[in-house]
Chains A and B, each alone.
Chain A
Amino acid sequence: QQQVKQSPQSLIVQKGGISIINCAYENTAFDYFPWYQQFPGKGPALLIAIRPDVSEKKEGRFTISFNKSAKQFSLHIMDSQPGDSATYFCAASTTGGGNKLTFGTGTQLKVEL
Chain B
Amino acid sequence: GAVVSQHPSRVICKSGTSVKIECRSLDFQATTMFWYRQFPKQSLMLMATSNEGSKATYEQGVEKDKFLINHASLTLSTLTVTSAHPEDSSFYICSAPLGGRAYGYTFGSGTRLTVV
Identify the closest chain A residue to B45 (Cβ): A103
Q: Quick check: A97 and B31 within 8 Å, CB to CB?
A: yes
Contacts of B41 in A (CB 8 A): 106, 108
B91-109 near A? 1/0 per residue, CB < 8 Å: 1010101010001111111
Give which listed residue, B32, B99, B104, B109, contacts A49 with CB less than 8 A.
B104
Q: How many residues on the B side are at the interface (Cβ–Cβ under 8 A)?
A: 25
Contacts of B103 in A (CB 8 A): 32, 95
Q: Using CB atoms and an 8 Å cutoff, list the residues of chain A in contact with chain B.
A: 32, 34, 36, 41-46, 49, 89, 95, 97-101, 103-106, 108
Nearest 3 Cβ contacts at the A-B interface:
A98-B32, A43-B107, A43-B110
16 A-B contacts (beta carbon < 8 Å): A34-B104, A42-B110, A43-B6, A43-B109, A44-B107, A45-B107, A46-B104, A97-B31, A97-B97, A97-B99, A98-B31, A101-B46, A101-B105, A103-B43, A105-B42, A105-B43
What total of A-B pairs shows CB separation below 8 Å?
A: 54
Is B75 an interface residue, CB under 8 A from the partner? no
Give which listed residue, B44, B49, B108, B109, contacts A103 with CB less than 8 A.
B44
Contacts of B44 in A (CB 8 A): 44, 89, 103
Identify the closest chain A residue to B92 (Cβ): A43
Contacts of A45 in B (CB 8 A): 107
Give which listed residue, B32, B46, B110, B112, contacts A97 with CB less than 8 A.
B32
Roughly how many angstroms separate A90 CA and B21 CA in the complex, as a whole number? 26
In B8-42, the 8 Å CB interface with A consists of 31-32, 34, 41-42
Identify the closest chain B residue to A95 (Cβ): B103
CB of B111 to closest CB in A, whole Å: 9
Give which listed residue, A32, A43, A98, contacts B49 with CB less than 8 A.
A98
Q: Quick check: A41 and B51 within 8 Å, CB to CB?
A: no
Contacts of A42 in B (CB 8 A): 109-110
Q: Quick check: B104 and A41 within 8 Å, CB to CB?
A: no
Identify the closest chain B residue to A49 (Cβ): B104
